[in-house]
Amino acid sequence: MKNRNGIFWGLFMLLSAGILVVSQLHLITYTLSFWTVVATIFLVAILIKSLVYFMIPGTVFSLAFLAILYAKPLGITAIVPWTVLGAALLITIGLSLILRPVLAKYHPWMRYGHHGNNWHNPRMHARFDHNIDVETVDEPDVNVSVKMGNSVRYVTSKNFKQANIDVSMGNAKVYFENVEVDETATINVGVSLGGVELYVPKNWNIVKQIDDNNMSGITEEGIPEVTADSPTVTVHGYSSLAGLKICYI
């Protein structure tokens, strides 16, 4: 993680310097305003970060917004912004479906395989047409996969170890209030174009290791009450054009 952050910031600084120098020296025929330069640097930052972390939504939509920003020099003013954004959404869906096996290599929490709540589970597909997919899970390892839908999971494990939550263009609520943890546990989150809400006991010591620099945000609700006996639960992963909410109950 630290090495990737170093690569990101290094490339970001180099490209930012190049953009600023070129814009001030007027080496291109198209005049760039100050805010255009700022927006360009911001979008390029998202693009580089998304490429480093193999995040399709951040990559595609940053390119889409850059195309909208530079529609005139690119000669695509005839394409209205909503067309570009609509195409970006379809490209994101298509690439996510095609490249899922490759992405699983870099995002381990996307790998499902041996539990009844596998993303290939027929029960999941049978419920696909329902507005909300609700399920209770009592396994030590919990897998949640949401694609263009809404899911609710009630975890009741007496020896909770790990949760893998993968959400794309959907929303997931996972309740951990009836869970017992033996010292430590891990919650892996990968969310893009959607939202995840985690309802955790207020006596949990939550350690956040989430990369949320891609037009995303992390919010917390409630007040944790951590003691010397509190288990440590690490929440890590990434969010891209998405939101993550941690609620202490």
Strands 195-200 and 243-248, bridge-based pairing? parallel
Shared domain for 164 and 136, answered yes or no, is yes
Q: Report the predicted TM-score, pTM, of the whole model to 2 decimal places.
A: 0.57
Shared domain for 94 and 159, answered yes or no, is no
Instruction: Give tens-digit pLDDT for 118-138.
Output: 434 433 443 444 457 788 888
Mean pLDDT of the chain: 77
Question: What's the CA angle centered on 232, arms 227 and 236, to 5 degrees?
Answer: 140
Tokens of 93: 């869906």
For residue 174, the surrounding DSSP H or E stretch is strand 171-175
Distance between CA atoms of residues 102 and 100, nearest Å = 5
Write down the pLDDT at residue 7: 65
Write down the pLDDT at residue 88: 87
Distance between CA atoms of residues 8 and 5, nearest Å = 5
Shared domain for 98 and 114, answered yes or no, is no
Instruction: Give tens-digit pLDDT for 28-56.
Output: 555 667 677 778 778 877 777 777 667 78
Write down the pLDDT at residue 8: 60
Distance between CA atoms of residues 246 and 28, nearest Å = 47
Last residue of a domain, one of 42, 69, 102: 102
Handedness of CA 79, 85, 88, 94 (dihedral sign): negative
Tokens of 137: 């899970």
Last residue of a domain, one of 74, 102, 130: 102
Hunting for tokens 């009741």 — which residue is that? 156
Strands 171-175 and 243-248, bridge-based pairing? unpaired
How many Cβ atoms sit within 10 Å of the Cβ of residue 108? 11
Write down the pLDDT at residue 187: 93
Shared domain for 126 and 218, answered yes or no, is yes
Hunting for tokens 């609520």 — which residue is that? 173
Tokens of 52: 């480093």
Distance between CA atoms of residues 238 and 217, nearest Å = 10
Question: What's the CA angle centered on 159, arms 134 and 226, to 5 degrees?
Answer: 95
Shared domain for 67 and 128, answered yes or no, is no
Shared domain for 123 and 244, answered yes or no, is yes
CB 145 within 8 A of CB 166: yes
Provide the residue range defining the domain that includes 83.
Answer: 2-102
Hunting for tokens 């990968």 — which residue is that? 190
Confidence check: pLDDT of 72 > 60: yes
Shared domain for 166 and 213, answered yes or no, is yes
Number of separate domains in the chain:
2
Report CA 115 to chain centroid distance, whole Å. 23
Q: Of the candidates 2, 97, 11, 18, which has an alpha carbon nearest to the alpha carbon of residue 47?
A: 11
Last residue of a domain, one of 102, 126, 144: 102
Question: What's the CA angle centered on 128, arms 127 and 131, to 5 degrees?
Answer: 85
